[in-house]
Structure 1
Amino acid sequence: MKTTAALLAGASALVLAGQAQAQDKTLTISVYSFAQDEFKTIVYDPFEEICGCELVVETGNSVERMSKIEANAAAPVIDMAVLSAHDALALARKDLIAPVPVDQLSNYDKLYDVAKDPLGDNLAVGYTFYATSIVYRSDKVTVESWADLLGPELAGNVALPDVTTNQGPPALHMIGKAMGDQDPSLTAPIEAVAGHKDEIVTFYVRSSQLAQLMQQEEIWAAPVGRFAWASFKDNGLPMAWATPKEGQTGGLNVMVLTKGSANQELALQFMDFWLSTPIQQALAEALVDSPANAEVQVSDEVAENLTYGAETVKSLDLIPPAVMLDNRESWLEQWNAKVAQ
């Protein structure tokens, strides 16, 4: 396996051309709080060294970060942000982000198609995604369909995500698909879950809850994001990751440019650096992000912990960002009336 140092060295040429222009400039980015030590080592520090600029990193939850972008729309203080695809679309609908001139990204054509223009009009570029499927006790049950979550073999031994979580609507979407109902209202799967709610151990809000319940053998199966798989596969119990016949779902995270940013050129250099094969590979090998760059190649051991490879990416049945935005209030109302009561 290549070392991180070697991978980072291979990315240096991407932004050297812009080094002179970047002197004495500051780029302010807004990112998730997750894995910031690793991002500093793999992405932030090497970019600063190459571009000769200062990188200011602001973290927080999505609501806080989106609110700051909106509050400073007249005089942006954030140049570039990373968000979920549907949160990025919410900003786009408020005219707070600018189209990405993708012809200036040398690594754009290396991305999987799902990451190239997820919002339309080049308003965002995907940089990582994750699969959501079902983890289960392979010595207790076999899971071949999303419908198995509500089946008799798992009654009293299954957990489902709450509808307010990132995993909730995608899991309901796939349960609906297994029922032959793909209406974006999610009415059918919500009603199905409501009909089985007494057989469900909990509706979880954090994947850490699941790991504990699984370890205590209180549950045998639950839908989770691939990023949480490591906490299950190494728990000492016979665990498996399902490949349901309906496919897997998941989520996509994207990069956006804030409208009116004075540092668009530098932001584009940073985006390109982050999307490059060496950086995406280093992040993958550190088990930080699954790569959106299709050129990345990792060992089987690393791939086991990621959403990786063309076949896996092709299998993802993602809820379109517009569907997520347009329906989530209705989903919550239905959930509260039928499941949470």
Structure 2
Amino acid sequence: MKKKLGLVSLTLVTASVLAACGGGSDKTASKEKPKTLVISTFGLEEDKMQEDVFKPFEKKYNVNIVLETGTSSERLTKLKSNPNSTVDVIELSQSNAADGVSAGLFEKVDTSKVPNMENLIDSAKELSADGSGPAYTLNSIGIVYNKKTAGKEIKEWDDLWDSSLKGKVSIPDITTTFGPAMLYVANNHKNTEAKTINGKTAFEGITGLAPNVVKTYSKSSDLANMFQSGEIAAAVVGDFAVPIITGSNPDVAYIVPASGTYANFNTININKNSKNKDLAYKYINWRLSQEVQEKTAVSLNEAPTNKKVVLNEETAKNKTYGDVAKRTNKVDSNLVNKNLASWINQWNRILNN
């Protein structure tokens, strides 16, 4: 974290004067130099992350945190290309984390060093059963739309295909956290009886949606400007970004279709080549703690994975929690990763040419 040079200099001068006068203490003189922990994370709401997650951890454990930010896929690709990077812990979407595990990038988690893993909800425990990094939040997708410019009330996924929304819709790019979930949505639009995704059927659905899609996006934070400028009237988005989008425009509403939604866990893994594994374990345990998750549920719109955290009705709004959590469907991360290269090519031919 950034330190103010003037304050540091003043502290050193004061310490020197006290020492010269016999007023210095052995405890002050022997205080250890802060260790450095490099965290690769999403670049969303960084000010609030600093306040509720990073700075309290730095203070408690005498640490300087250095951040690497970007999309989940960008940061995983970077780590793949340089496994000896200085990154100690990395926060990723579920499918990217599964890819990293398959590539052998991560430390197998020793649960005895993360006591808060015992407090995880059952679905999060299942995700870490093979030694993968634990999930610190659960999110899912819904639809945000401008009630004045959409031309109709939007209630279900199928409404996105309505001709009244031609050139008015934005969806997450295939390479983002929820890009593959769009294929599930498109698949079910064509075949509501589908139990799993069929690539051919899914891309038939995407082809049908294409006239309505004015832009795909990589960063959900960009949607606020797109709504504000009138560039779009509706979008598919992860619930973690809803406050950013709806807060800037009172005409924009968020709905989760009654037919269900698609879920994603964000997870934390340790780079197997990290030189700070003990400190990395402390950070993971911190991120899973009741204390931190109660704060981030409010400030970062993160649904908790620690079952000791209980949200009131206002805090639970726009989160994958309660009734919404019960309506979530899984995206098969292994299936996605197996087919992603082919799917990206098909996606780009249809939407990005």
Q: Shared fold (TM-score greater than 0.5)?
A: yes
Is residue 343 of structure 2 the alignment partner of residue 331 of structure 1? yes
1:8 equivalent in structure 2: none
Report how far residue 299 of structure 1 moved: 4.2
After superposition, residues 113-124 of structure 1 pair within 5 angstroms as: 113-118=122-127, 120-124=129-133
Counterpart selection for 1:268 from 281, 304, 321: 281
1:316 equivalent in structure 2: 328
Change (3 A) 1:327 1:46: same
Change (3 A) 1:46 1:340: closer
Is residue 58 of structure 2 the alignment partner of residue 45 of structure 1? no
Counterpart selection for 2:316 from 296, 303, 327: 303
Change (3 A) 1:301 1:192: same
Q: Is the 8 A contact 2:263 2:328 kept in 1?
A: yes
What TM-score does the superposition give when structure 1 sets the normalisation length?
0.79
2:24 equivalent in structure 1: none
SS in 2 for 1:107: helix
Change (3 A) 1:26 1:69: farther
2:265 equivalent in structure 1: 252
Counterpart selection for 2:295 from 282, 285, 288: 282
Change (3 A) 1:119 1:339: farther
Q: Is the 8 A contact 1:133 1:223 kept in 2?
A: yes
- For structure 2, the 5+ residue unaligned runs are 1-30
2:116 equivalent in structure 1: 107
Report how far residue 237 of structure 1 moved: 4.6
Counterpart selection for 1:82 from 85, 88, 91: 91
Cα distance in 1 for residues equivalent to 2:36 and 2:261: 37
- For structure 1, the 5+ residue unaligned runs are 1-21
After superposition, residues 1-341 of structure 1 pair within 5 angstroms as: 26=35, 28-32=37-41, 33-51=43-61, 53-61=62-70, 62=72, 65-66=75-76, 69-70=79-80, 73=83, 77-118=86-127, 120-138=129-147, 140-178=151-189, 179-180=191-192, 181=194, 183-217=196-230, 219-287=232-300, 289-304=302-317, 306-341=318-353
Post-superposition CA distance 1:121-164 (Å, at most 9, x none): 12110012322111124464233321221134534543333333
Give 1:283's aligned amino acid.
T
Cα distance in 2 for residues equivalent to 1:158 and 1:76: 38
Change (3 A) 1:287 1:66: closer
In the alignment of these two chains, the number of paired residues is: 317
Post-superposition CA distance 1:254-295 (Å, at most 9, x none): 111222444333322221122111111112222363322232
Change (3 A) 1:185 1:23: farther
Cα distance in 1 for residues equivalent to 2:77 and 2:50: 24
Post-superposition CA distance 1:207-231 (Å, at most 9, x none): 3554344345554322111122224
Post-superposition CA distance 1:27-75 (Å, at most 9, x none): 5232223333333332233223333x424323133466445644664x6
Q: Is the 8 A contact 1:99 1:122 kept in 2?
A: yes
Q: Is the 8 A contact 1:137 1:240 kept in 2?
A: yes
Report how far residue 172 of structure 1 moved: 2.4
Give 1:58's aligned amino acid.
L
Change (3 A) 1:242 1:68: closer
Change (3 A) 1:56 1:156: closer
Report how far residue 173 of structure 1 moved: 1.0
Larger Rg: 2
Superposed CA RMSD: 3.0
Q: Is the 8 A contact 2:156 2:257 kept in 1?
A: yes
Cα distance in 2 for residues equivalent to 1:91 and 1:136: 34
| Identical pairs, percent | 26
